[in-house]
Structure formats: C-alpha cells, structure tokens
Structure 1
Amino acid sequence: GNALPFAGGPFWTLPIQHWRNMMEIGVRSHLVAAWHAAPLLIERRGLLVMTGYADPEAEVIAGHVFYDLAMTGVSRLARTLAHDLRPHGVTALALSPGFTRTEAIMAAFGDRMPPGGDSIEFPGRAVRALLADAGVARHAGRTVRVADLAEEYGFGDLPD
C-alpha cells in the first residue's frame, strides 16, 4: 500500500504498488465518477470538479513519480472532459488545493505537522464560489489553485 506518510525517491526504489493505488484507483476513480455523472451533468448543465495539480515548472510533486503522474493525469483528464462536455453546457475543471490538513495527514505527521496548511473546508468554499459564478465556463479545462479562487472570489479559509 501507500499509506501516509509515503516517501518519495528515485522511481526504481518506490513500491510498484503505488502505481496501482495512485493511477488505477486515484485517476481511474475520477474518470469512472465522471462517466457515471455525465448524463446528469448534461441534463442540468452542471459543473464537474476534480482534484488535480498543474504547474509545468514544478519539480516532481512530492518527489514521487506515481503521485506526480496521478495529479498531473487528473489535470489532463479535466482538460479532456471539458472538451467533450463543453458543447453540452457542462464545465469540467480540476482544483489544486494547497497542503490540506486532512485527518490522515494530521495523524501521519502528529507533532511534526508543518505550520500552516489549508483546512478541509477551503476547497469546499472554492466549489461553492464556482457554483455561484454564472461565468464559470471560463475555467473549463483548467486546473485552478484554490488560493487563486479565494483571491478572485473573496473568500477565506478557516483559522487553524
């Protein structure tokens, strides 16, 4: 498995099971969910939001090839799904949250938790802002940082 904390390293030193967990489960789950949701999204001219990461200048995300491929793969998936869904009035995009203080991360880091980080509510506030935006289609196919949306829409995160 790849339970937290997982350490990065040269690709040949990483457990090959991480491929399955991150690509076959992580990326595939986004595609399968979108596949099942597409008829409803088309009927309602809805919004499809996935979690990705896109920074063409970034080094390997977390120093972990499988994690990097999964995150950037979802960002490419958002672009592809936006292409297919746009003619039907559906906006598909990926959100890129910052370092998020999930229960799993908090448990994994314990007393070594780095300062800062985003609450689990912060990405939810971004989704709420996107849903309220009549011009949300301008984000179609993009991977947008939650922090950038907070600035654009004027919402904040919860205090620590």
Structure 2
Amino acid sequence: MIKPLEGQIALVAGATRGGGRGIATQLGAAGATVYVTGRTTAPGNSPMARPETIEETAELVTAAGGRGIAVPVDHLESDQVRDLVARIETENDGRLDVLVNNVWGGDPLTVWGKPLWEQSLETGLRLQRLAVDTHVITSWHALPLLVARGRGLVIEITDGLADSEYRGSFFYDLVKSSVIRIAQAQAAELRPHGVTALALTPGFLRSEFMLDHFGVTERTWRDAIAKDPFFALSESPAYVGRAAAALAADPDVARWAGQSLASWQLAKIYGFTDVDGSRPDFAAYYAETQQPENKGVTVDPAGYR
C-alpha cells in the first residue's frame, strides 16, 4: 500500500472524537506519525463527559498504518501546549509537517433558538475561549517548527465556508467565522516561509455525539433519516479525514493557501470517497432544494452521494 505521508509528523489538536479522530486516523492510514491531543483520557474524563479517549484515537491511528501517540493536553493552558511542542521537537529532530487545529469542546455550550441578548454572556465567552483561543495558543507554540523547516501545512477545522450564511447561533457563528479568519491570517504570514495555512469544513458530520443524538450507530445511521431528512447527506469522520490527508500529501497544496475548503469539494478534486464508497455533497443538495427559489422542490438525496 502506498503511504504518501510515511515519515511525516502530524499534530492533531483536539483528536478525541469526531472530525479530529477521523483526521488523525486517515493521516495514520497515509503513513504519518500522529500526535493526538485532548482532555479525555483513559484515567480521567473531561467536562465533555463523553466516553471516547485520546488513547483510543492513538490506537486507531496505529491500526490504520501509522503511529499514534496520545498526549493529554488542555489547549487553553499555554504551558501544556509549550511542553507538547517541545516533546514533538525533541522526539523528531525538530520536525513537524502538519498541524491540525481542531479543538472545539463547544457542543454543551452552544445555545440554539435564542438571540445574543438572551444567552449567557459567560457561557458564550467561554465558548470563544475553547474554540478560538485554543487555536491561537496552539499555533503560537507550534508554527516555529514549521517555519524553521520552510515547509508544512496548517489546517484549521471549522463549520462552513467563508461565504456561509448565518449559522443559527451568535456565538457559534462567531467562533466558526473566526477560525476561517485565523486560517486566512496565518496564510498571509506563513506564505513567505513556505508554509501553507487553510480552513477545512466537513458537511453534516456523523460524529459520535450526533449518532447518540439520533439514537443510532454508524452501522444503523440511515435509521435517523426519518427524523431528519438531511441526515441522508451526512458523512463519516473519515470523509473529512481523507480530505485532510489528501491536502497533506499534495505537493502543490500551496495553491489552497488562505482558502476555506470543504470535504465535498475536495472529494471531487482528489478522488477520495467516504467509507461507503459514496461522495456526499450536502452543499449541492441544500442549494438545490432549500434556497427560496427552490422551495418545494423534491429530489432524492441518494442522487447527491
């Protein structure tokens, strides 16, 4: 099996579950050594109160063909991130090829259906800290390794593209838009040093949280379509993971610097599929059925996979 990332070192910040786990695993499948971080470990849980752990993610990376290394890190704690980067530098002769900023932790803090002034300011600002400040702190510590080598890739994981409509909740929208701007700003500063930064979004992600929300498993996920027709266009975490791996293996990845990209776009360009062999295109389905001029149009979601 060809492993285009063999010998490369990646850090996936926020890899306990969901898209982060999918990205780490697919980077491993491409041959990379992947440092996976998060707050939920085998010895102890985090405020997320979820069962998934970074040790499990590391095992998945190794099983996929790479080498997974689990490191407990709270990315709001600058000293912990500093020590993580110092470890990567020491263990790999200063090498870091790919940084994926995926820290989120905002599911229990996001409020839907209420305007800004009816939400808790404390909770909203905490969401900003968890989902924006963590990215800045991690990049501040890790970017010097990429700059020193004059090459590398930074992927900022978000929800939606730069031209996305309002995402339905003030603080959520602010976070996801900010992450895209972080990618754009990093791209401008890193370009002269040979390093590429960009933003990447999945579509309707079938994360562990979302599967539990609908009361289904990855094997039975189609049973949830009756509850939410849009779920027919959902994608597994491997889909955005394969997008990240394709970007990391692209010798011409600099062409994407500063852009916000989507799993469904990159699948068509790089030729990868989701785990079921399909290419779900949530954006096309949404545009052709939910825009005002298309209200009432009925199409088969299967035609967009």
Correspondence list, 1:44-83, <5 A = 44=149, 45-52=151-158, 53-56=160-163, 58-61=164-167, 63-83=168-188
Name the CA distance, whole Å, in 1 between partners of 2:109 and 2:268: 30
Name the CA distance, whole Å, in 2 between partners of 1:48 and 1:120: 19
Name the CA distance, whole Å, in 2 between partners of 1:23 and 1:7: 16
Structure-2 change in CA distance of 1:146 and 1:107 (3 Å): same
Name the CA distance, whole Å, in 2 between partners of 1:21 and 1:105: 22
Tell whether 2:121 aligns with 1:121: no
CA displacement at 1:2 relative to structure 2? 5.0
Which amino acid counterpart does residue 47 of structure 1 have in structure 2? L
Name the CA distance, whole Å, in 2 between partners of 1:67 and 1:29: 15
Which amino acid counterpart does residue 14 of structure 1 have in structure 2? Q
Structure ranking higher on relative contact order (CA contacts 8 Å, 6+ apart): 1
Cα root mean square deviation, aligned: 2.1
CA displacement at 1:39 relative to structure 2? 1.3
CA displacement at 1:17 relative to structure 2? 3.7
Correspondence list, 1:137-148, <5 A = 137-148=254-265
Question: TM-score when scaled to structure 1?
Answer: 0.88
Name the CA distance, whole Å, in 1 between partners of 2:111 and 2:233: 20
CA displacement at 1:13 relative to structure 2? 2.3
**SS at 2:233's partner residue?**
coil
**SS at 1:35's partner residue?**
helix
- 1:89 is aligned, of 180, 194, 215, to 194
Question: TM-score when scaled to structure 2?
Answer: 0.48
Aligned length: 158
Structure-2 change in CA distance of 1:13 and 1:79 (3 Å): same
Correspondence list, 1:19-58, <5 A = 19-44=124-149, 45-52=151-158, 53-56=160-163, 58=164
CA displacement at 1:51 relative to structure 2? 0.9
- Counting aligned pairs with the same residue, the percent is 41
Q: Is contact 1:4–1:108 with CA below 8 Å preserved after alignment?
A: no
